[in-house]
Chains A and B, each alone.
Chain A
Amino acid sequence: MKTVNKIDNIIEALCRHEDPKSISILEEIGTNSEIDEIREKTAHALIRKNCPESLRVVISSAGKGINDLSARVAMSSINEILSLNDKTEVLKVLEETMNSEEKSEIKDTARSVKALITYSM
């Protein structure tokens, strides 16, 4: 089996794992990776978990998820958020980020994504 496929399966397993520690592992190794592809896949996994802790990583953290410096990673993360069936938790985290975040860039991104979700609903 190829290394990429092994990594895909590990990320998928961590995504499905109910242990909250899986989020910290994904954040620590996946979102801090130098490789765009790994960061993208990790962000997708964290969004699919669809829990406040995992969503905060991709929405409120600088340089991760929708705030990633790579346009490809950021855009695919936004796309993944838009494709969620239940967007209740996402909207809550976005609202929370807009009200509490100090960095204006992160606030603006959260506002834009919220507007996109509102238009797409």
Chain B
Amino acid sequence: MDKMKISQTKFGMFKPMSREERQEVHSNPFGINFKGNVLAADVFESSKAKETNSLSSNPFAKMTNKSKMVASAFVGSINSFNEAFRSRVNSIISFGKQIKENIANSWEFAKNTEIKLDFKGLTESIASKFNNQYSVNNLLKQPVDDLGAMFAAEHQTYKESLKA
């Protein structure tokens, strides 16, 4: 179905026409003037048409030309909305698929990964934190002379590291 918008509607009805043209095209026998221009659209509803409309069961049959244009424009806009909606839904679906694939890959990776808990290493690392020779508590247990010797040695090391 072609999309139809109100803005695209050709209002050629205001185009001036000769009397002959007018008679050929329109069922309006009076050739109604609107500020000097003859209305090109058949805005008058013939009595014949009215009779047929009243007899038909189609509810859209009563619609005028202009309202048909409006309706078609509305339908066109619904179609375009549907297309936009469909494209968004598709993108959501593809996103969902991607997530699903990622989860599946992660699960495969987790299944093939061996988890080990190294208690021995953990104990050693904790023990090294608490049994640090240079912790203040351990240093306080040592005689002052030993501390003096350690201080001198570490000071020398630090001095050399600054020079290097």
Binary contact track A11-45/B, C-beta < 8 Å → 1, others 0: 11110110101100100111001110010000000
- The answer to whether A34 and B147 touch (CB under 8 A), given A6-B134, A9-B134, is no
| A88 interface contact, C-beta 8 A | no
Contact of A12 among B136, B144, B157 (CB under 8 A): B136
Q: Which residues of B contact A10 (CB under 8 A)?
A: 134, 139, 147, 150-151, 154
Is B155 a contact of A38 with CB atoms below 8 Å? yes
SS class of chain A's interface: helix, strand, loop or mixed?
helix
Number of A-B contacts (CB under 8 A): 66
Chain A residues 64-83 with CB under 8 Å of chain B are none
A17 to B150, CA, bound (A): 15
A30 to B158, CA, bound (A): 13
Q: Which residue of A lies closest to B155 (CB)?
A: A29
Is A6 a contact of B162 with CB atoms below 8 Å? no
| A5 interface contact, C-beta 8 A | yes
Is B136 a contact of A13 with CB atoms below 8 Å? yes
| A121 interface contact, C-beta 8 A | no
Q: Which residue of A lies closest to B162 (CB)?
A: A35
B interface residues (Cβ-Cβ under 8 A, vs A): 132, 134-136, 139-140, 142-145, 147-148, 150-152, 154-155, 157-159, 161-162
Q: Can you identify 19 A-B contacts, CB atoms within 8 angstroms?
A: A3-B154, A3-B158, A3-B161, A4-B158, A7-B151, A7-B155, A9-B134, A9-B135, A10-B139, A11-B151, A13-B147, A14-B144, A16-B136, A25-B144, A25-B147, A25-B148, A34-B159, A35-B155, A35-B158
A interface residues (Cβ-Cβ under 8 A, vs B): 1, 3-7, 9-14, 16-17, 19, 21-22, 25, 28-30, 33-35, 38
